[in-house]
């Protein structure tokens, strides 16, 4: 425990070091400097080549529309849902679905959605030929549509649960019930009253998560590969394509595009911030106008319907994956396959097991490291009084705000440059960058909310600081610690780009294998990998609920904590 | 050597503003009651003695326990016992394991278990060792919390509104029990309360803060 005082610094280094180093590598390569390949700069060749790429305007446009579209729709759905429904039974039902929905990996949710809404998807099969008269799937581009609408839909479905969780956490800190009662007594409709009294306080708390959604939507790769348009693809996908080409000049091109991507995200965040100021201004005028809200009921209904569709699309998506994974022959437009068989599972068995092993090893090591660092930071806070400031919170969010496509290519280049072997260990370090913030955010509140008088009593009984931590604090916090572990595992399981780029294509996890299958169109194999990926993320959450219930089955005081 | 708890010119400030000042000696078996409205710094005074003063506060003066200067010692080396308003029994441990946690190390398992059984018997809770603390009544929890503290063999006992959560009848019983045990072990007691009945029952000196 003598190392404890340096743990916060070490954590920051582990979390931000790769981001900073990767950005540096990207900048160097973008300006033509790639010593590992014998290229020296600086020059502007890569930017010139990027400017000459005919797909650039559309690719940039797609990044921007996807990012803003996803964030606006998801935020509006969540805000209106909470405004109109919090405290009702419908809301409680959605709340119970939250953890499972959150833990479904993005790629699996995207596959599920694609299998639902494609012209040959489940929805078309269910209504054909009866309603449509189709004997053949129509030649429509629903998935991979050129406007990226399917991509946006897939992202919204996954970001709604995330923003909802963050909003619920923020609500717990604001005195919302009484504010709502006061607004109602003054004659305000439920949604309008909530928007005018509670929303400003809540938004201040969920601002950083909203920024994360915006940055993520602009730079996502795996969901875009599955649901997004192909030619030209969003900028992030094109970056990864260039990175995959054997030619080194393509790598420089990718780095230039990565810098552009970073600039786009920074610009979008600034624009969003300006939008916040404008909305706040308009909101004050709206509040001053005294309107009580007339169309509340319609807005309420629409919000619930929207959130319901988002939740259903993920759940039904998993269901259709399950059906495909055991389907025999399944012709269009049959609603169900002619027969069920385990043949696909047998055929993919060895590959799946190997990928499960790799996924579990990486996720396990990374999560363990993240937990040790997080608990070390939080305990250093207790013993040395170093509290995370607002600026520290920004640092925590930084790895989630800097687009992955901006720093991972540079990091790969640097690793190659110093002769570090691409492979499992560097992949673990790269995963840690994304796992640490989520584990920290998940554990920090319960850790700090723990009644410190328990520690005072334990110390009065003669327990030293380590004894208090190991014998009292951590056992009492078993449930939040395991939940944080589950969050970490699911984040690691879902990592695509970090695994692909830093692993140099040699590290095959469930996620990289599943996404790699997407271009082949073998629905049965995709279904098997998508389900396994979901299971790998979901089972830890189930264990995080079950283990404390088992361990503390005779301890009533801990059963609801 | 002077037996007892000495607060030697203790002065607590917050951001340079004086909060509490006290200069008293509590002899073994005696009770000093500190009264005053909430927010006046009563619990802060106790945290100076336990060694858990929050960073926002500063304190001058010395705390002596049986002649030993404990002002700079870490909390777990001070041998200062404390009871809070809540029982704060560790919810993950059984009643017996809570007492084992308190019992000073040493002795084999059988001997330690016997000590715990004896302690439970002393407060009419024989056979409760395997119980979940959450299933106990308020009065039973208070008794377990007291015995857990005493098994750690403290040299003084602090009471931080320790009877505040109990109803009037139970309150008198628990209070009598705590004072009796403290007297039997010749412990100096520093009690913080805002209930005049507590002060009366204690029978010692009363200091009123905040006036």
- pLDDT, average across residues A186-198: 84
Closest-CA distance, A74 to chain B, in angstroms, reads: 40
Residue of A nearest to B55 (CA): A385
Q: Domain for residue B85, yes or no? A: no
Q: Domain for residue B115, yes or no? A: yes
- pLDDT, mean over chain B: 91
- pLDDT, average across residues A413-417: 80
Is the CB of residue B74 less than 8 Å away from at least one CB of chain A? yes
- Identify the residue with better confidence: A242 or A174: A242
Q: Domain for residue B87, yes or no? A: no
User: Does B38 lie in the same domain as B100?
Assistant: no
Alpha helices in B17-161 (DSSP H): 42-50, 95-102, 109-122, 138-151
The pLDDT of residue A386: 67
Q: pLDDT digit string (tens) for B135-193?
A: 999 999 999 999 999 999 999 999 999 998 888 888 999 999 999 999 999 999 999 99
Show me where the domains of chain A are located. 1-25+342-400+409-561, 56-341
Closest-CA distance, B151 to chain A, in angstroms, reads: 8
The pLDDT of residue A65: 95
Cβ count within 10 A of residue A493 = 29
Q: Is the pLDDT of residue A340 over 80?
A: yes
The pLDDT of residue A1: 57
Could B152 and A459 be called an inter-chain contact, meaning their C-beta atoms sit closer than 8 Å?
no
- pLDDT, average across residues A229-246: 90
Give the tokens for residue A81: 């849902």
Identify the three-state secondary structure at position A415. Answer: helix
* Alpha-carbon dihedral sign for residues A392, A258, A104, A123: positive
Give the tokens for residue B12: 């607590």
Separation between Cα atoms, residue A242 and residue A247, nearest integer Å:
9
- pLDDT, mean over chain A: 89
The pLDDT of residue A388: 66
* Alpha-carbon dihedral sign for residues B164, B166, B172, B178: negative
Contact between residue A234 and residue A224 where contact means Cβ atoms under 8 Å apart: yes
Q: pLDDT digit string (tens) for A49-101?
A: 899 999 999 999 999 999 999 999 999 999 999 988 887 888 888 888 888 88
Separation between Cα atoms, residue A403 and residue B192, nearest integer Å:
56
Residue finishing a domain among B113, B135, B153: B153
Share above pLDDT 70 across residues of chain A, in percent, rounded to a whole number: 97
So what's the ipTM on this one?
0.85
Total domains, chain B: 2
Is the CB of residue B60 less than 8 Å away from at least one CB of chain A? no
- pLDDT, average across residues A305-321: 93
Separation between Cα atoms, residue B119 and residue A293, nearest integer Å:
65
Contact between residue A500 and residue A512 where contact means Cβ atoms under 8 Å apart: yes
Closest-CA distance, A470 to chain B, in angstroms, reads: 12
- pLDDT, average across residues A335-364: 91
Of how many residues is chain B composed? 211
Q: Is the pLDDT of residue A147 over 50?
A: yes
Q: Which residue, among B54, B57, B82, B90, would best test binding to A if mutated, counting the most A CBs under 10 Å from its CB?
A: B90
The pLDDT of residue A94: 83
Cβ count within 10 A of residue A20 = 15
The pLDDT of residue B38: 79
Residue of A nearest to B81 (CA): A460
Q: Is the pLDDT of residue A233 over 60?
A: yes
Q: Is the pLDDT of residue A184 over 80?
A: no
Q: Is the pLDDT of residue A246 over 90?
A: no
The pLDDT of residue A4: 83
Could A461 and B152 be called an inter-chain contact, meaning their C-beta atoms sit closer than 8 Å?
yes
Cβ count within 10 A of residue A180 = 19
- pLDDT, average across residues A154-180: 86
User: Does B167 lie in the same domain as B148?
Assistant: no
Give the tokens for residue A244: 């995959």
* Alpha-carbon dihedral sign for residues A371, A372, A377, A383: positive
Chain A, window 433-452: residues with a beta carbon less than 8 angstroms from a chain B beta carbon: 451-452
Contact between residue B64 and residue B11 where contact means Cβ atoms under 8 Å apart: no
Q: How far apart are the first and last CA of chain B?
A: 34
Q: Is the pLDDT of residue A561 over 60?
A: no
Range of the domain at B124: 93-153
Query: Given this structure, which CATH class describes domain A56-341?
Result: mainly alpha
Q: Which residue, among A458, A460, A549, A557, would best test binding to B if mutated, counting the most B CBs under 10 Å from its CB?
A: A460
Separation between Cα atoms, residue A156 and residue B125, nearest integer Å:
58
The pLDDT of residue A420: 66
Residue finishing a domain among B132, B153, B174: B153
Q: Domain for residue B147, yes or no? A: yes
Identical fold for domains A1-25+342-400+409-561 and A56-341, yes or no, is: yes
Classify domain A1-25+342-400+409-561 at the CATH topology level.
MetI-like fold (1.10.3720)
SS3 content of chain B, % helix, strand, coil (to 5): 35, 25, 40
Q: Is the pLDDT of residue A130 over 70?
A: yes
**Strand stretches in A201-355, DSSP E:** none
Give CA angle at A359 (A24, A505), nearest 5°: 50
């Amino acid at each position: 425990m003598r190392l404890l005082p340096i743990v916060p610094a070490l954590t920051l280094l582990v979390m931000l070091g790769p981001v900073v180093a990767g950005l540096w590598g990207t900048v160097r390569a973008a300006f033509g400097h790639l010593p590992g390949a014998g290229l020296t700069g600086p020059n502007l060749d890569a930017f010139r080549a990027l400017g000459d790429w005919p797909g650039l305007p559309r690719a940039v446009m797609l990044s921007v529309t996807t990012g803003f579209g996803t964030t606006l729709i998801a935020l509006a759905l969540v805000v209106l849902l909470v405004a109109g429904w919090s405290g009702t039974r419908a809301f409680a039902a959605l709340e119970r679905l939250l953890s499972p929905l959150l833990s479904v990996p993005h790629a699996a949710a995207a596959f599920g959605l694609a299998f639902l809404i494609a012209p040959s998807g489940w929805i078309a099969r269910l209504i054909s030929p009866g309603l449509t008269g189709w004997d053949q799937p129509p030649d429509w581009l629903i998935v991979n549509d050129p406007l990226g609408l399917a991509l946006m839909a897939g992202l919204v479905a996954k970001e709604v649960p995330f923003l909802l969780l963050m909003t619920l956490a923020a609500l717990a800190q604001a005195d919302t019930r009484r504010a709502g009662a006061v607004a109602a007594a003054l004659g305000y409709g439920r949604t309008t009253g909530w928007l005018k009294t509670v929303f400003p306080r809540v938004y201040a708390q969920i601002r950083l998560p909203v920024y994360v959604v915006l940055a993520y939507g602009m730079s996502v790769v795996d969901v875009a590969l599955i649901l997004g348009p192909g030619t030209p693809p969003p900028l992030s996908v094109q970056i990864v394509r260039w990175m995959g080409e054997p030619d080194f000049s393509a790598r420089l091109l990718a780095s230039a595009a990565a810098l552009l991507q970073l600039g786009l995200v920074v610009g979008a965040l600034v624009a969003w911030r300006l939008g916040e100021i404008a909305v706040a201004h308009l909101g004050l005028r709206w509040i001053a106008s005294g309107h009580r809200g007339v169309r509340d009921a319609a807005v309420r209904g629409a919000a619930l319907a929207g959130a319901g569709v988002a939740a259903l699309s993920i759940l039904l998506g998993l269901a259709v994956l399950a059906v495909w994974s055991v389907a025999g022959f399944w012709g269009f437009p049959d609603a169900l396959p002619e027969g069920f068989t385990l043949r696909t599972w047998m055929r993919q068995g060895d590959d799946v097991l190997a990928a499960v092993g790799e996924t579990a090893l990486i996720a396990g090591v990374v999560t363990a490291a993240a937990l040790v660092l997080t608990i070390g930071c939080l305990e250093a806070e207790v013993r040395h009084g170093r509290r995370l400031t607002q600026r520290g919170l920004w640092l925590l969010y930084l790895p989630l705000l800097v687009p992955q496509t901006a720093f991972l290519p540079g990091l790969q280049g640097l690793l190659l440059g110093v002769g570090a072997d691409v492979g499992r260990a560097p992949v673990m370090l790269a995963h840690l960058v994304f796992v640490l913030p989520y584990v920290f955010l998940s554990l920090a509140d319960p850790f700090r909310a723990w009644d410190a008088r328990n520690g005072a009593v334990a110390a009065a009984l003669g327990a030293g600081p380590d004894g208090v931590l190991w014998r009292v604090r951590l056992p009492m916090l078993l449930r939040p610690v395991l939940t944080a572990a589950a969050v970490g595992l699911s984040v690691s399981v879902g990592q695509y780009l970090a695994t692909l780029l830093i692993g140099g294509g040699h590290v095959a996890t469930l996620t990289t294998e599943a996404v790699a299958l997407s271009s082949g169109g073998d629905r049965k194999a995709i279904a098997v990998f998508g389900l396994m990926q979901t299971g790998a993320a979901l089972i830890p959450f189930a264990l995080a609920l079950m283990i404390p219930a088992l361990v503390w089955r005779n301890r009533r005081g801990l059963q609801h904590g | 050597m002077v037996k007892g708890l000495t607060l030697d010119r203790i002065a607590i400030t917050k951001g340079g503003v004086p909060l509490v000042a006290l200069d008293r000696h509590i002899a073994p078996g005696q009770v000093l009651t500190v009264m005053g409205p909430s927010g006046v710094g009563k619990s802060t005074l106790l945290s100076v003695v336990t060694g858990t003063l929050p960073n926002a506060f500063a304190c001058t003066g010395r705390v002596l326990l049986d002649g030993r200067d404990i002002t700079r010692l870490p909390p777990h080396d001070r041998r200062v016992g404390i009871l809070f308003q809540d029982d704060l029994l560790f919810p993950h441990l059984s009643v017996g394991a809570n007492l084992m946690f308190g019992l000073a190390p040493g002795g084999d398992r059988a001997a330690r278990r016997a000590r715990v059984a004896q302690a439970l018997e002393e407060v009419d809770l024989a056979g409760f060792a395997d119980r979940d603390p959450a299933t106990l009544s308020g009065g039973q929890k208070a008794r377990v919390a007291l015995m857990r503290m005493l098994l750690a063999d403290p040299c003084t006992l602090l009471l931080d509104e320790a009877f505040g959560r109990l109803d009037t009848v139970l309150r008198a019983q628990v209070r009598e029990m705590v004072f009796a045990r403290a007297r039997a072990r010749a412990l100096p007691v520093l009690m913080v309360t805002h209930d005049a009945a507590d002060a009366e029952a204690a029978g010692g000196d009363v200091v009123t803060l905040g006036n």
